[in-house]
Structure 1
Amino acid sequence: MFMDSLSWVDQTYVKKHANENPDDLRAMYHPNLRLYENVHAPDKNTSERTRTYDAMMAFGFRFGRKALLSFAVYLLTFLPYVGRFVLPAASFYTFNKAVGTPAAVVIFSSGLFVPKKYLVMFLQSYFSSRSLMRDLLDPYFSRVRYTKEQKKKWFHEREGVLYGFAVAFFIMVKIPLVGVLVYGIAEASTAYLITKITEPPPPPAEAGEFKEKDVHWENKHEFLNLPLDKLDKFNISSKYREKLRPDSTGEEIQGRSFT
């Protein structure tokens, strides 16, 4: 669904700006990203059962560690004298890097007066939204393979936008019956989001330099101040040139790509 949505975003963008100068249009995402599927194809010598087991182990380790950490914080809240400061301190630590020290101090101060129940709900929504966002971005990162450190920087640079994007879907996903449908909408929307917070990936042979640069969100503050109809303003570079690119349906898309 992610790649189909990305192809649709590219085609819709080109049709919307068909009467404009091609040099002023953003580059295409779907064609080059599709090339990464063969680069990271599963090893034929590894059985499906082994790959499933490895994925389950990675999933269990990631969420098991979070569960243990949450349980430890919960137990610390029962300590005499200092227990009431544990959740506010955890909030400060969590949000200090994400929103800055002043805002984190406000959250810490509020946590001293807000009932524990609501503070736990607030923290739960934050961490659950982060987990949801990582799952939604998995189709992208399964193709463009960042190192662990690069991926950490990539998320940190875009943390505020990703949280705001995910928290709305996190609330709707919890709605009975329609939650599965909302998840599909969220995955499709993530394809559109990728075109706003990253540069189009180059051919796989040039991926190393691209990943080193793309972890930093260039023009971040300028982008966040743009009006909605100008969101592609900073996604234009002289590194691209105009040419025809095939999409997944076999049709030709007029756009620009890396040379």
Structure 2
Amino acid sequence: MSLMRYITPTLDEIFMESLKWVDTTYVDKHKAEDPSTLRAMYYPNLSMYNAGEGKVKSTAPKKSAKERIMVFLRRSGQRAALLLGVSILSLVPVVGRFATPAASFFAFKDAVGTTPAAVIFGAGFIFPKSYVVSFLHSFYASRTLMREMLDPYFSRVPFTPEQRNRWFADRQGVLFGFAFAFTIVLKTPFIGVLLYGVAQAATAYLVTKVTDPPPAPSEKEGFAETQVTWKNKHEFLRLSLDNIDQLNKAPEEEKPKAPEVPGRKFE
């Protein structure tokens, strides 16, 4: 299914239609509230961005579908080679027992922090090697899945490679948890392929929580840099599920003031 993204635009269409549905549902849910306090919509402006505009920062010629498929296969091959190398190194006497735990530590350190990664390192000496390798494989698969799921967004909003890396780094904990759950579910026989579409649709909802509504295409210059830092990260992590729609609402000072009604004058 990951390969299909480079052949057919179906997954891109699922993302955009899901984003439209999220906006519509949000408005319906809050139709009794003051419209000036609601967040801006995502779909109307993002739908006016052309898919592929997010790549404009590159001076290289646009790659064909065949070339993009080869890049995807090369990345997949590199990850497979890395896991194979760790498995082979784990067979070496003495140092082999440290190979898998060490690989797990360095893989997870940037995503979840040093302390949780140290716990995972210690767990590598307790659980069977096959479990740890499977867990490590799921981690790399989840990172790949998350980047693929977000491709419809990044293909439209023009981020530089450096901005994109910082964007992911600032949200890596939430993105890892989101993608890891779907990575496990997608391994389910028979229904895993169907759930891939569900994962793409859910990513559209995630975008509305970890980014700001995009401006009109004519005003998008500099927008990517404002999104590198997740401004409402702490608010998002503190909100309950019932209040999660409170994000991105118009602040009080931006509410339009009600016109003053002149008082009656008595002479």
Give the TM-score, by structure 2 length: 0.81
Residue type of the alignment partner of 1:34: S
2:134 — aligned with what? 121
CA distance in 2, matches of 1:41, 1:212: 13
Q: 2:37 aligned with 1:28, yes or no?
A: no
1:252 — aligned with what? none
User: Structure 1's 179 and 89: CA in aligned 2 closer, same or farther, altered over 3 A?
Assistant: same
CA distance in 2, matches of 1:141, 1:119: 32
Shift of 1:241: 8.6
**8 A contact 1:201–1:207 mirrored in 2:** yes
Q: SS in structure 1 opposite 2:71? A: helix
1:192-251: per-residue Cα shift (whole Å, max 9, x none)? 111111111112343342211211111212211101122132313469899xxxxxxxxx
Residue type of the alignment partner of 1:23: S
**8 A contact 1:32–1:203 mirrored in 2:** yes
Q: In structure 1, which of residues 192, 207, 225 is the aligned counterpart of residue 238 of structure 2?
A: 225
Q: 2:50 aligned with 1:37, yes or no?
A: yes
Shift of 1:79: 2.3
User: Structure 1's 21 and 220: CA in aligned 2 closer, same or farther, altered over 3 A?
Assistant: same
Shift of 1:78: 2.1
**8 A contact 2:55–2:155 mirrored in 1:** no
Give the TM-score, by structure 1 length: 0.83
| 1:102-141 equivalent positions in 2, closer than 5 A | 102-141=115-154
Q: In structure 2, which of residues 224, 235, 250 is the aligned counterpart of residue 211 of structure 1?
A: 224
| 1:96-245 equivalent positions in 2, closer than 5 A | 96-237=109-250
Moved over 4 A (4+): 237-242
Indicate the RMSD between aligned Cα atoms, in angstroms: 2.5
The number of residues matched between the two structures is 237
Q: SS in structure 2 opposite 1:37? A: coil
Greater Rg by CA: 2
Q: Could you list the runs of 5+ residues in structure 1 that have no partner in the other structure? A: 243-259
Q: In structure 1, which of residues 43, 55, 58 is the aligned counterpart of residue 68 of structure 2?
A: 55
Q: Percent identity?
A: 51
User: Structure 1's 177 and 63: CA in aligned 2 closer, same or farther, altered over 3 A?
Assistant: same
**8 A contact 2:186–2:195 mirrored in 1:** yes
Q: 2:21 aligned with 1:8, yes or no?
A: yes
CA distance in 2, matches of 1:124, 1:90: 11
Q: In structure 2, which of residues 68, 76, 79 is the aligned counterpart of residue 66 of structure 1?
A: 79
CA distance in 2, matches of 1:63, 1:81: 30
Structure with bigger strand share is 1
Q: Could you list the runs of 5+ residues in structure 2 that have no partner in the other structure? A: 1-13, 57-61, 257-267
CA distance in 2, matches of 1:28, 1:160: 25
Q: SS in structure 1 opposite 2:39? A: coil
CA distance in 1, matches of 2:129, 2:77: 23
Bigger shift: residues 124-133 or 229-238: 229-238
